[in-house]
Chain A
Amino acid sequence: MLFRKNAILAITLALIGSTTLSSAVLADDLTVGVRAGPDSIDPHWSTLGSQAESLRHIFDTLVGVDKDLQLQPAIATSWTPVDDDTWEFKIREGVKFHGGSDLTAEDVKFSIDRIPLVTGPMSMTIYTKSVESVEVIDDYTVHVHTKGAAATLPNDFIRMFIVSSEIGTVGNEEFNSGAAAIGTGPYKFVSWEPKGDLVLERNADYWGGAPHWENVVRKEIPNDASRVAALQSGEVDLINYVPATDYAAMQNDSRLDTFIADSVYILNITPSVKDTLPVKAKVDGVEIDANPFQDLRVREAMDLAINREILSDVVLEGLGKPANQLMPATFFGGSTDLPAREYDLERAKALLAEAGYPNGFEVDFACTNNRLPGDAAVCEALSQMWARAGLTVNANALNGTVFFPAQQAGEFSLWLSGWGTLTGEASYTYGSLVHTADPEKGLGAFNKSGYSNAEIDALLEEGARTLDDTARAALYKQVTELSMNDRVLIPTVVIQTVWAAKADTLTFEPRVDQETLAQLIEPVAQ
């Protein structure tokens, strides 16, 4: 009996041997292993970052962005305010859809108008919220009328994908099947299924010049270890979001190239400054009614107790960088005048004593554990750093599924969460996080700390009305400096992300929005 088993084993092994895959990939094909893909091929379905990233291959946006998220012409060649509530967009001539028809102003109007009708729970109406109506002036000119002055409209349109007005009333099913997936982008849609591969082929007639790769496959491999293994075994040419532990090993591996860059994501601490904390602080084990975070000295002490070098180099294993504001300083409305945050434990203790907490206090601290790389580790490290200043901070890392509804409901007293300035300008971030929560004005939607500062509010609102870029940037710079000095939120570290490819095969320049775009990847010249 055992004999026969051995024979079977031998045959099986032989079979495996004969079917060994040759992983040689054709020179003009690119296979990318990505952590996440789209939820639909309809470019007006969702604001998800991986959605925009995937669909940017097939569709073009009205306004483009460079690798630092600063605006550049795309389908629109220029945009200018004609009066306080009208923007004029000039449309590029000679752009053709994959089906062969010309892109005109009608298609732009159709696309903008389509969003409220088809968008899903990750609603893209955030990009059209200031749009009152769209008017076609001629084939290549569009006027967008806004509700009041909307200075940041071009920024809102960096994910305004243009679809053909000929598709009519269709939804996800028609897009997913490919019937309606007709864009003007550098690649044509071939096939996709949810959580599966997105297959693309070159659009040789692309207005911006044909991309290099003939065929592109974007394989969705959410598991970090599996994605790394897929690269090491040669099944994919490039992967995104290399985990920190593998990054260290890969730097010593001559078979692989790595690319590292800052992301737009920063981990920020938010102390609730409401009159009553949702979960009250304790002094010597006894609940107190006062909210210690209302005292700027306490917020400053907590800031001073953070050693950002340790967070970046040790906790995030080198994949982080100290942050001193809520977005990169070079973004529109950031401040290059803010100094780096100091680490001064003695001063932190002194400030706490001065504020009336010589023996510190105890408070709960919530954070996510699956939202951004290292979020839970930073959270625990912070609670230890504060312990050295005499505070008892109970770190509680939660799954995002639990964290976000609770945060939205205002159940936390102190929390850490990631924020990415996806539009590359300040009003997106400060308008949402720092402006007084005001549903009427549509501002402060994510201000759950209860912070309210009339001066900052006025500056933000003035900015939204100021169409002159230089003047607006100056207003937002003031907002940045005021709110950062007031420690409304305490920025900790910028998350850095890593890509990896087979050594000496690809040229790749990381983008701050972390998009991995096949059209921007070229083979290394032989």
Chain B
Amino acid sequence: MFGFFIQRIVQAAIVVVAMSILVFVGVYAIGNPIDVMIDPAATQEIRDNLIRQYGFDRPLYEQYFVFVGNVLQGDFGQSFIYRVPVLDLIFSRLPATFELALGAMLLASVVGIPLGIWAGYRPHAFSSKAIMTLSILGFSLPTFWVGLLLVMTFAVQLHWLPSGGRGPTSDLLGVPLSFLTPTGWSYLILPAFNLALFNMGLLIRLARAGTLEAMSSDYVRFARAQGLKESKVVGLHVLKNISIPIVTVFGLEFGSTLAFAVVTETIFNWPGVGKLIIDSIMVLDRPVMVAYLILVVLLFVIINLVVDLLYGVLDPRIRARRSA
């Protein structure tokens, strides 16, 4: 088990280093951030001073090692644009994205998995065919289009829900959250649903495929022969056996939903990190880009670790193999 952790941490470290180098080289190749930001009326002297002040005149490797040195002391630097520590900037917006992504994944699972199991359990029923058609729509419709449609319908036409923003939040252990109040929910529900659609379609398909396969297996036949109720057969035996791929996909998708919720965040004006990172890329705000991507890498590593641990919980055979 311990070796497993070490291996993961080393992998993460390599990815983080490779990625930070990529960002540095990438920004360097595009050009000088000062040229993007500076006011057209600036004189050459002002421009040169700024370039010196931010160290853009130094060779790339030097800029990189200064950065690495600071990071090793726990300092990710300050945003060029806001001149506030990048970690403060990112963490002030992370709860919003986290809440949105988690809401979306839970919504996708709660709706998607039961529907998928039903579709696999009664593959020829009309309802199953309808579910499958809907699932195709779920992952083939572009998010931004569905998002706009949702806003037009529920906010502009029906006036049921707000068109965007996060609304008032309430604090839980110092973290501002929306889901604690009905008003918060009214802001959360549309973007969460929009973000959930793709994953819902994916989970429906996965659960259906797994169920189809499981239904024809021996253990289902034996369970039925034992006289177990159908709800027990599906809810216990089938669900357990199809959960490994579902957990895997859930983990992967949760990571990417979290890291790349930017389209939904933009349409619903959700104050998450996605919007922050896009804006940072637009102005080549390198410290924010690097710190955010490092965070994303760590997040993926943690999620994958949790997924691996869950395998053991779900499947005794994996547990046995690992302890062996």
Contacts and interface: CB of A to CB of B under 8 A. Distances in A.
Contact of A442 (B45, B82, B93, B267): B45
Given A126-B42, A195-B275, A16 B161 contact: yes
B32 A47 contact: no
Given A172-B82, A432-B40, A5 B182 contact: no
Contact of B46 (A15, A18, A123, A193): A123
Given A15-B182, A223-B269, A232-B156, 5 more contacts: A123-B46, A221-B269, A225-B148, A235-B155, A408-B31
Interface stretch (B5-13, B134-142, B212-220, B276-284): B276-284
Contact of B156 (A2, A229, A445): A229
B186 A126 contact: no
A228 to B, nearest CB: 9
A121 interface: yes
A226 B185 contact: no
B118 interface: yes
Contact of A17 (B37, B42, B160, B284): B160
Contacts of A232: 155-156, 163
B35 interface: yes
B81 interface: yes
Contact of B127 (A2, A40, A225): A2
A195 B41 CA distance: 26
Interface string A1-17: 11001000000000111
B44 A439 contact: yes
A171 B279 CA distance: 22
Interface string A35-59: 0000110000101000000000000
A237 B42 CA distance: 36
A26 interface: no
Contacts of B189: 16
A277 B151 CA distance: 50
Contacts of B151: 225-226, 229, 233
29 contacts: A2-B127, A18-B182, A19-B186, A20-B161, A20-B186, A21-B161, A21-B162, A23-B162, A39-B82, A126-B46, A172-B82, A172-B84, A195-B276, A195-B279, A222-B269, A223-B269, A225-B148, A226-B267, A229-B155, A233-B159, A401-B30, A401-B281, A405-B32, A405-B35, A407-B35, A422-B41, A432-B41, A442-B44, A445-B47
B118 A1 contact: yes
A486 interface: no
Contacts of A1: 114, 118, 231
A195 B276 CA distance: 8
B284 A401 contact: yes
B92 A193 contact: yes
Given A171-B83, A229-B156, A235-B163, A404 B36 contact: yes
Interface in B236-276: 266-269, 271, 275-276
A233 B34 CA distance: 39
B226 interface: no
B304 interface: no
Interface in B25-59: 30-47, 49-50, 54
A230 B39 contact: no
The 9 A-B residue pairs with the shortest CB-CB distance in the complex, in nearest-first order:
A405-B31, A439-B44, A442-B43, A19-B182, A233-B155, A47-B39, A233-B163, A405-B35, A408-B35
Given A120-B80, A121-B37, A409-B31, A226 B114 contact: no
Contacts of A21: 161-162, 183, 186
Interface in A401-428: 401-402, 404-409, 419, 422-423, 428
A222 B275 contact: yes
A400 B36 contact: yes
A196 interface: yes
A40 B89 CA distance: 12
A194 B92 CA distance: 9
B313 interface: no
B152 interface: yes
Interface range on chain B: under 10, 10 to 19, 20 to 34, or 35 or more? 35 or more
Interface of A: 1-2, 5, 15-21, 23, 39-40, 45, 47, 120-123, 125-126, 129, 171-173, 176, 193-197, 219-223, 225-226, 229-230, 232-235, 370, 399-402, 404-409, 419, 422-423, 428, 432, 437, 439, 442-443, 445-446
B21 to A, nearest CB: 20
User: Interface SS of chain A: helix, strand, loop or mixed?
Assistant: loop
Contact of B266 (A19, A222, A234, A432): A222
B116 interface: no
Contacts of B185: 15, 19
A437 B282 CA distance: 28
A23 B159 contact: yes
B165 interface: yes
A167 B282 CA distance: 33
A391 to B, nearest CB: 28
Contacts of A2: 118, 127
B112 interface: no
Contact of B183 (A19, A47, A129, A233): A19
Given A126-B41, A222-B266, A230-B269, A402 B163 contact: no
A431 to B, nearest CB: 8
Contacts of A20: 159-161, 186
B201 interface: no
Contacts of B82: 39-40, 172, 194
B283 to A, nearest CB: 7
B103 interface: no
B164 interface: yes
B163 A230 contact: yes
